[in-house]
Amino acid sequence: MNEQKVNDWLASRKQLRENRNAVSLFEALRSGNRTALSSSITLLESSLEKDREIATAIIRLCLPFSGNSVRIGITGVPGVGKSSFIERFGMELIHEGKRIAVLAIDPTSERTGGSILGDKTRMQQLSQEENAFIRPSAAGNTLGGVARKTRETIILCEAAGYDTILVETVGVGQSETMVHSMVDFFLLLLLAGAGDELQGIKRGIMEMADGLAVTKADGENDQRAKLAQRELKNAIHLFPPTASGWIPEVHTCSSVTGERIDAVRNMIHRFEEHAKIKGSFLQNRKDQDRNWMHETLRSLLLEGLYLNPAIHQRTLEMEEAVRQGNISAFEAAEFIYDLYKKQ
Ligand code: GDP
């Protein structure tokens, strides 16, 4: 055999092995084996190319079995009560016979190495449940990278039979948009403040929400929560209507007493029914997939551009030339782009 043939043969053996790994993990995952699900997620989070290849094969196998769930995004500032809410809400769903997966997108983990959402003591009760799968935020260099892994994780969880996917994120910026782009229902948790409900939450995020819940509505705080609810209802009236005609609802709830957690759950049920009747449920998912294709393409192009050593070198030179005023920023960018096209 010549060298090329040997290499081809080795490659096909490797492919076979990877396929075998993928198929056996997929089969175990489908039969409800949580370790197989965890291992598959670890593979897709890996930076090793061979792991990613197996993960891609598993995702391909899982795709026909995915999609049959409600994907709920949950956001709010640190301390608003996200994990307490998910614990209570999740337990109620489990009692209803649901199987839930809790995933997290944590924009702080990449910067600080630590993580607001990664705390092991969170959701203690839920984490003991057979029908709950909790996965902390994926590691990654960029929020886009983390988002991609989370989207892929959703597919795996759905194929593994989880019918309710909760994607949690800290309300501190970009990550809400990211989560909004991968869920069916977007829930914003808010704290009741003395008349300052609208502060600290960007209007854009309020507009993205399909539902709002004022948390910690118990004890002395209950009245304040109700006041905040009224103010929020008024504020929401001023927002433009959504395409499906759904009007976001505002509720109060307490994760400590468990009161009105069911109101939030019922709101999500109502939304699901409404969106399915109107056809916006599937349409939204299709739009999300299309956007995601473009998003992935953009990041691949950027990676191709910035990770190419030759182009990187020229980019540094161009930066310097722009700084010196020898070339305009526009012209320098065009020069680099031309170089990229010729590659
Ligand atoms: P997260 O940072 O948004 O995940 O918030 P946590 O769930 O960790 O809650 C922050 C703090 O608020 C904790 O001390 C909780 O015990 C408290 N907390 C959460 N939900 C409630 C609630 O419904 N009522 C009351 N009184 N306290 C709550």
Which of 74, 82, 83, 84 to mutate for ligand 1's pocket (most ligand atoms within 8 Å of CB)? 84
Per-residue pLDDT at 194: 45
Per-residue pLDDT at 296: 84
User: What residue segments make up the domains of the chain, in order of their start?
Assistant: 3-63, 67-277, 289-341
| CATH superfamily ID and name for 67-277 | P-loop containing nucleotide triphosphate hydrolases (3.40.50.300)
**What CATH number was assigned to the domain covering residues 289-341?**
1.10.287
Query: What are the pLDDT digits (tens) for 311-322?
Result: 989 999 999 999
| Phi-psi domain of 241 (left: phi exceeds 0; alpha: psi -120 through 50; beta: other) | beta
CA 192 – ligand 1 centroid, Å: 13
**Below-70 pLDDT ranges, the chain:** 1, 12-18, 107-121, 138-141, 171-173, 194-202
CATH class of 3-63: mainly alpha
Q: Whose Cα sits closest to atom 7 in ligand 1?
A: 81
Per-residue pLDDT at 124: 87
Atom of ligand 1 nearest to the CA of 77: 3
Query: What are the pLDDT digits (tens) for 10-63?
Result: 776 666 666 778 999 999 999 999 999 999 999 998 888 889 889 999 999 999
Which of 170, 251, 255, 260 to mutate for ligand 1's pocket (most ligand atoms within 8 Å of CB)? 255
CA 84 – ligand 1 centroid, Å: 6
Per-residue pLDDT at 207: 84
CA 318 – ligand 1 centroid, Å: 51
d(CA 325, CA 329): 9
Whether pTM > 0.85 for this model: the answer is: yes
d(CA 99, CA 2): 54
List all residues whose CB is within 6 A of at least one atom of ligand 1: 76, 78-84, 215-216, 218, 254-256
